[in-house]
Amino acid sequence: MEEPEFATEPRRLARALLVAVAIFGFGALAIWGFIEGREELAREAERERPVKAPQRISLEGGEPVITLDAAAQEQSGLRTVALQQTEYHEQLRAYATVLDLQPLVDLDNSYAVAKAQLKGAQAKLDASSAEFEREEALFKTKTSIVTLDKLQAAEAAFHVDEAALASAEAQLRTVEETAEQSWGPVLGRQLGEDNQEFARLVRRQDYLVQVTLPPGVLVNTPPPTATIQLENGQRKEIHFISPAAKTNVSIQGVSFLYTVPASNDLLPGMNVLAFLPVESTVDGVVVPLAAMVWWQGRAWVYVRTGPSTFARRAIETDYPLPEDGYLDRSLTSDTEVVVQGAQMLLSEEFRAQIQVGEEG
């Protein structure tokens, strides 16, 4: 027996209502999950975002200024010194080459050999000359002790030894002339002599440096001492020997010979800068090497502009000092420069520029 239609209608309505409620519940749950997920992603992104460093760089007059409080300065080990006034004897910049001393050593050996040969030739000539004179004296007595053939043989031996001596003398002169033409009159005349300066060169305790002035530049008197600067900035004092016998073919300037103590960082064939002091003077301050940082091919220092502020300043490098650093005419003696921590300040300055670029 079928159930009346009016009896089943309420049940269908109830089922439809339950389905609608379930669909609505699932939809609400999905929407809540979506919103919650978006918020969680936003929170995660916020957690992963890099923490910005405190802004230490500001611009004053268009130039960057670094601010570090006393605690930060102490933590980084930053140290400053006040610049000292000095009078600088202006120096002429020249070009220097460390010479190979082997040709000089070879000439010294050749001189010793030629000298020994000359001594031997002289001894033989002395003996043959005495023999010839004795034979000639006996022959003149018209005795039968010395025949004409014996006298002629003694004379021939004398002339042979005489020619040998002349050849030995010529060989020695050739070595001496070659030495003077190659190394100048001072070194050339020291061959074979008991000269301490020359002996140090032969034993490689000293090196010989040829200093060549720029083309067209002349000096009245070469300074007795000058300096050379190596690639690492180190300077060495050099001592005058004589004018050079020949110039540097690649520069074509007036050249001089100087000596310098041998060291591992100075080798034959090296080209370095030389600085020759001249009479004029320049006033300025001494900038120590420890204060200098290099950027874009220029030298910079960080000067203290306030108790907690520092600014970068370019300095001159035209006047290198023999002791340490350079003379600068733009800074004053009351200027404090950073001598420990300058590289850190340079890194801090450019790190800030990178951050600004990323934020832009």
Looking at the structure, tell me whether residues 236 and 297 fall in a common domain.
no
Domain boundary among 244, 263, 281: 281
Q: Are residues 183 and 245 in the same domain?
A: no
Last residue of a domain, one of 281, 305, 334: 281
117 & 171 share domain: yes
Q: Which residues, 6+ apart, have CB-to-CB distance to 12 below 8 Å? A: none
- C-alpha 54/C-alpha 353 separation (Å) is 13
How far apart are alpha carbons 60 and 94 in whole angstroms? 40
User: Does 156 lie in the same domain as 227?
Assistant: no
Q: Tell me, what's the pLDDT at 213? A: 94
Mark whether 272 and 294 lie in a shared domain.
Answer: no
pTM: 0.57
Instruction: Write the Ramachandran bin of 252: left for phi over 0, alpha for psi from -120 to 50, otherwise beta.
Output: left
- With 0-12 / 13-18 / 19 or more C-beta atoms within 10 angstroms meaning exposed / middle / buried, residue 211 is buried
354: domain CATH number? 2.40.420.20
Asked if residue 141 and residue 208 are part of one domain, the reply reads no
Amino acid at 56: R
Domain containing 343 equals 57-88+283-359
Predicted local confidence at residue 357, as pLDDT: 46
Distances (CA, A) of 77 to 33, 83, 206, 339, 350: 53, 19, 41, 10, 20
Q: Which of 141, 167, 196 lies at the terminal end of a domain, its last residue?
A: 196
pLDDT of residue 51: 35
pLDDT attached to residue 53: 41
235 and 308 inside one domain = no
Digit-by-digit pLDDT tens for the chain (360 residues) are 445 554 556 566 556 555 555 565 555 555 555 555 566 655 554 444 443 444 578 888 778 899 999 999 999 999 999 999 998 878 889 999 999 999 999 999 999 999 999 999 999 999 999 988 888 888 888 766 777 888 889 899 999 999 999 999 999 999 999 999 999 889 988 988 888 999 999 999 999 999 999 998 888 889 999 999 988 878 899 999 999 998 888 888 999 999 999 998 899 999 999 999 887 888 999 999 999 999 998 999 999 999 999 999 999 988 888 777 899 999 999 899 999 999 999 998 888 666 544 444
Question: Which pLDDT belongs to residue 286?
Answer: 95
What sign results for the dihedral spanned by CA atoms 241, 242, 244, 245?
negative
Residue 30 domain flag: no
CA distance 351 to 360: 14
**Greatest Cα pair distance in the chain:** 190
Instruction: Tally the C-alpha atoms within 13 A of residue 76's C-alpha that lie toward its C-beta.
Output: 20
For residue 346, being part of any structural domain is answered with: yes
- In this prediction, residue 324 carries a pLDDT of 78
- CA–CA separation, 292 vs 331, rounded Å? 14
Shared-domain flag, residues 113 and 173: yes
Residue 248 and residue 291 in one domain: no
In total, how many domains does the chain have?
A: 3
DSSP string, 259-309: EEE-BTTB-TT-EEEEEEEEEEEEEEEEE-GGG-EEETTEEEEEEEEETTE
- Say if 324 falls within a structural domain: yes
Q: At 203, list the tokens.
A: 């034993």
Answer yes or no: do 289 and 311 share one domain: yes
Kindly state whether residues 330 and 354 are assigned to the same domain.
Answer: yes
Asked if 292 and 354 sit in the same domain, the reply is yes
With residue 89 as reference, give the H or E element that holds it. Answer: strand 84-98
Tell me, yes or no, whether 38 lies in a domain.
no
